[in-house]
Structure 1
Amino acid sequence: MSINSAMLAGVSGLTANSSALAAISDNIANINTVAYKRNQVNFANIVTAQAVTGRYSAGGVQGLTRQYISQQGLIQSANSSTDLAISGDGFFIVTEKGFGLTDADKRVFTRAGSFNVDSDGYLRNDAGFYLQGWPIAANGTINYNPSDLTELNSINVKNLGSAVQATANVTLNANLDKRQTISAAEGTYDPATRSMADWEENSDPATGTQPDFSIEMNIVDTMGGTHKVSFSLLRSAANPNEWHAEIFAIPAADVTGGPSGQIAQGLVMFNQDGTIDLANTTLFGAAGAAPTISLAASGAGGTPRWDDGLGVGAQDIRFDLDKLTQYASASTVRIVNPDGATVGTVVGVQVDEGGIVSAIFDNSQIRQIARIGVATFANPDGLQAVSGNSYRATIDSGEYVIKLPGQGGAGSISPSTLENSTVDMSAEFTGLITTQKAYSACSRIITTADQMLDELISMRR
């Protein structure tokens, strides 16, 4: 009967508008939720077969929920370096467990990047999910598999121990005075019996030779210990552009080798324009040899080597002498810059646009820990929403593909930012008003149909 169909159509209208009100309520409630994606109930009419010509049976309406997951929210700056947003397509991969992950543990996807370092050192967002990434090996390699979630681990930025970096390079910027007078001891100088290292040790002119100029620096060994090393020079009488040179440890006991901790000895040569002539410099071995000194490990064979009591590993140190000059001005040191760092602990975390998470140590070292993976879907609007502002894959969404941030269509990571909710307050309040009016109108349909049925029933009296 048409009156019954009208009443049922009104009921369907109440149901559809109730769903619309629920979606609007969710949107308004989550207007400040990080990376929240608005929902909307769209209406579609239901058409019933008209069995009798001239009579119309109402079909009503059905509400179809649509998720706007693929819509990009506004990215705004945040205070924390671990607040992250994805600029472009893709989702962070997260899990409910920080450690002990197995294949059976579920992984979900989110764009809510409000991550903080928890008490165990894991990056965890406000919903309690742990951020996943590929661990970076000590040599910088990543075991990358775009279709295997189990290759990812929860990122921990504190369970790293201490960081030590042995000195590998020394930058030396100095000038040697071309006007330097020849020392009286230069004629008796011998790097084996009357070395500059010997004089530095005991100041005995009978066994050592006082250098004309010395440059001292600190070297960090493989265990983070600090050692003083001297780069000493003596003007040669044989050639106006030639200097005797020695590199030795202070104290000599740190190194087992030549006289009084001597590590290297030879000549440093200069061109006629005052620049260094590395092609004819013999301080590091044969003329033209790479400007590198090598110290064997403690207890190892060969000399020079670190003292056996130190227990440290082998070490090669390269000297950058391109800025060592011989000009007619006072001998002076401009810059001595050895790299390396003593023992340090984690004091901060940084993330770059490529998704590389690095730990910052208080000794100024930066260690790469992991690289964040970004999951993309053929149809992100087909994902299934779950609690915690996250999603699961469905048949409609298609299979995930894990990509490196900024590559293969995946969005890049934007550090120290957060993605805002996509909710538009003015649009939601407008929808709230129209939904309320539509609901009232549908209720009036039911009231009118009820009155007409009353009239029909009263006809038999």
Structure 2
Amino acid sequence: MSVFASLHTSSQAMMTQSHVMERISGNVANINTTGYKSFNAHLQDSVNHINTKGTFLTVDAVDVRQADKQGIIQSTGRDLDVAINGQGFFITNPAFDGTGTQHFTRNGSTGMRVADDGNAYLTTLDGQYFMGWSADATDADGTIDTTQPLAPIQVNSADSLPGAATTAITYAANVDAGSTTGHTFESRVWSNPDETGKNDPYALVMTWQPRSDELNTWTVSYSVRDPLGATTTLADTTTVAFGGTGRYLTPTEDITVTVPFADGTDTTVTLDLTGMTQYGDTGFQEHYQDANGYPDGTLAGVSFDVFGQLTARYSNGEARVLSQLALADFPAPQNLLDAGSTMFTYRVEAGEPDIFAVTNTLARTAIIPGSLEGSTVDLAQEFTTMITTQKAYSSSATVYRSSDEMIRTATDLKQ
């Protein structure tokens, strides 16, 4: 190797080590940046010069972004913050209609942005919309069709949750085995909602009367009390029989009662009384009741669950799934294109994306609500690399100075 080749080689080595130091400083500066994925600047040899006397080698840096490395997850206490535990990236888009360039990030620190339709949508802190799928508004179970196109995640809604009429009641209580007088139990029944979604509370009163002509048998009659206290007696009656040990025997099928309301409508209520008992040592005592009706309610709050589903909580105690966060995974995520601000964009070297929703927390990915994923920077490793990089730079500089001195000496000999 000529002295000029060593001069060029050491110069290239200094530039390479300077680049490595630049990457180290970037990593250290982002040690507290949410969702930041550290750079590794790997060194490789490269051809410096080829002539008839031989091949000279120097060094270059190859940047590798560890986009698939898991960071430490820390709780924030904010309902709309989300972290990914496992594989995948959140999908974001700067355009509300989805026509912008898709971005991928592990930074689940969220904000809100009011779109042109007047509703607030979930965004990144720099304003990109988180993308996902909306739940079927007509389905109380919140069915989500993940085959539909991605859309922004809506956070709020001005619409209240309409009330629902009571159609099923499960009732359990004890009737006194030694009683010769009747006793009443009652359960709340919500009326049919009006056009605004509002409904009223009624009471279904069950009067239990022991049969004098048949042991362990009771006649149940029904009446309905409206919100103003007026009572309507129903024509329906039910005969309930218990066994000698106080266990419920008949009827084995659910009981059906038609409950009238003041507006002229009614609802058919199915009664499940199989939890009733007849013991003599506890008297008349209600155990529990469960009914499926509820009043109208206003939005009280929203939060994510471990599946990435955004759930709305209402003032009436009900909850509804609003939408589902979409995630993307890639065969080679380290080949995604760095777009800055902990964002990546797609390129073919990353492989075909797999767009999915979390359906099983024991699978490859889980969503951790109220948390964020921290930076993957290892400060101790960065300082260790910085020391070796500094020594390599210093050594290359020494070679450069020595080569320069040799050239100057040769130049002086010619004078």
Deviation at 1:95, TM superposition (A): 2.1
Quote how far apart the aligned CAs of 1:253 are. Answer: 9.1
Q: CA deviation at 1:173?
A: 2.3
Residue number among 248, 254, 261 corresponding to 1:306 in the alignment: 261
Structure 1 residue 294, shift from structure 2 partner? 4.3
CA distance in 1, matches of 2:160, 2:334: 44
Q: How far 1:261 moved relative to its partner? A: 5.0
Root-mean-square deviation (CA), in Å?
3.0
- Note the 1:319-330 alignment, pairs <5 A: 319-329=271-281, 330=283
Counterpart for residue 318 of structure 1? 270
Q: How does 1:144-155 map to 2 (within 5 A)?
A: 144-145=146-147, 151-155=149-153
Looking at structure 1, the residues matched to 377 and 305 of structure 2 have their Cα atoms a distance apart, in angstroms, of 28
Residue 219 (structure 1) shift: 1.6
* Corresponding residue for residue 451 of structure 1: 405
Rounded Cα–Cα distance in structure 2 between residues aligned with 1:435 and 1:253: 84
User: Which structure would you say has the larger Rg?
Assistant: 1
Please, what TM-score do these two structures have when normalized by structure 2?
0.85
After superposition, what is the alpha-carbon deviation per residue over 1:226-284, rounded to whole angstroms, capped at 9, x for unaligned? 122211233333323333322222139999xxx935273333333333223333xxxxx
The whole-number CA distance in structure 1 between the counterparts of 2:112 and 2:338 is: 25
Paired position in structure 2 for 1:123 = 122
Query: CA offset at residue 456 of structure 1?
Result: 3.5
1:101 to 77, 80, 97: 97
Partner of 1:271: 243
Gaps of 5+ in 1: 183-211, 280-287, 296-304
Identity of aligned residues (%): 26
Cα deviation, 1:96-139, whole Å, max 9, x if unaligned, reads: 24xx414x222211111223556754333334333222212142
1:426 aligned partner = 380
2:145 is matched with 143
Report the more deviating stretch, 267-276 or 62-71: 267-276
Which structure has greater strand proportion? 2
- Does the C-alpha gap of structure 1 residues 366 and 308 become closer, same or farther in structure 2, counting only changes over 3 Å? same
The SS at the match of 1:47 is: strand
The Cα of 1:20 is off from its aligned counterpart by 0.8
Tell me the number of residue pairs that the alignment of Structure 1 and Structure 2 aligns: 400
**2:37 alignment partner AA:** K
The TM-score with structure 1 as length reference comes to: 0.77
What SS does the corresponding residue of 1:323 show, helix, strand or coil? Answer: coil
1:123 partner amino acid: L
Comparing 427-436 with 408-417, which one deviates more in the overlay?
Answer: 408-417
Q: Which residue of 2 aligns with 1:111?
A: 106
Q: Pick which of 377-386 and 269-278 moved more.
A: 269-278
1:13 equivalent in structure 2: 13
Does the C-alpha gap of structure 1 residues 66 and 155 become closer, same or farther in structure 2, counting only changes over 3 Å? Answer: same
Check conservation: 1:50, 1:57, Cα contact below 8 A: yes
**Which residue in the other structure is 1:362 paired with?**
315
Q: Match of 1:71, as an amino acid?
A: K
Q: Which one of the candidate residues 221, 232, 255 is aligned to 1:291?
A: 255
- Checking the alignment, whether the CA contact within 8 Å between 1:94 and 1:129 is kept in structure 2 is yes
The alpha carbon displacement at 1:372 in A equals 2.0
User: Residue 168 of structure 2 aligns to which amino acid in structure 1?
Assistant: N
Residue 423 of structure 1 and its aligned partner are, at CA, apart by 0.7
Q: Which residue of 1 aligns with 2:196?
A: none
Q: What does 1:172-191 correspond to in 2, within 5 Å?
A: 172-181=171-180
Q: Is it true that 1:44 corresponds to 2:44 in the alignment?
A: yes
